[in-house]
Amino acid sequence: MIQVPGHLADRGSPIGEPEPVAGLDWAVATRSVQRAGGRPDRFTGAMAAAQRAAGGPDDTALLAGIAGIAAWRAGALAYRQDALARIDALASDAARRAAGAALDLDVSGLDEFANRQRTDRFWWPGRATLDGYVCAVGGFAGLGGAWVAPADAWYPLGEPGAFAIRTGDRWWRLDADVWGSRLLPLDAQPQERGPDQAASIVCLPDTYLAWVHVEDAA
């Protein structure tokens, strides 16, 4: 298990800086991704990998389309549905190679990934090797995390990938998928419990982290 908040699927995520492209401002795009909750280094790394896979930096339309996929890969949850739609619409081999590279996936597994994501938002090819653990959230506030007490209760909310988590006397809402998570403090405990989900939350009394875990790790 990792000891700081983060996503296990991001181990070995693409690194690098994209080359300049006429009509695209990487600094503006990166700031937009960061405002949406994504990590700038993951976005630029994904775009650099996409450029290399596509064979160069000069196809503005192709790379503009891949940017939404890279933003999702960077952890910006708001781009999830748009990214899946963009994957469905990929028309050329170059675009498919670029999308696979941005997601750090072999292009031969791109369709399987997109199809599985529609029923299991936490699936990725390496999950089974990590015993079903997807991500860790929270962390001790004194070390830059969010919580001043360990998590000790949780339940699913009524939306996919959404959970209520209690730490001490405070409740939090967690939204998560394979690439990103968003943790927000709540004014009160959510009243309605949602249906069970494929994922659950693992809380341990001796840590300030909580883990998203999928029992079926395949």
Write out pLDDT tens, residues 9-51. 777 778 899 999 988 999 999 999 999 999 999 999 999 999 9
What is the C-alpha separation between 28 and 80, in angstroms, rounded? 20
Output the pTM of the full model: 0.91
**Confidence band of 217 (pLDDT split at 50, 70, 90):** low
Average pLDDT value for residue range 104-111: 93
**How much is the pLDDT for 218?**
58
CA angle at residue 78 from 114 to 18, to 5 degrees?
A: 75
Looking at residue 1, its pLDDT comes to 46
Label residue 102 by pLDDT band (50, 70, 90): very high
**What are the extents of the domains in the chain?**
11-118, 129-214
Summarize the confidence of residues 65-90 as an average pLDDT.
95
SS3 letters for 14-60? CCCCCCCECCECHHHHHHHHHHCCCCHHHHHHHHHHHHHHHCCCCCH
Angle between helices 40-54 and 60-73 (to 10 degrees): 140
Confidence (pLDDT) at 198: 86
Confidence of residue 7 (pLDDT cuts 50, 70, 90): confident
* Sign of the torsion formed by the C-alpha atoms of 28, 72, 7 and 21: negative
Mean pLDDT computed over 90-115: 94
Window from 69-83, 99-113, 125-139 with minimum mean pLDDT? 125-139
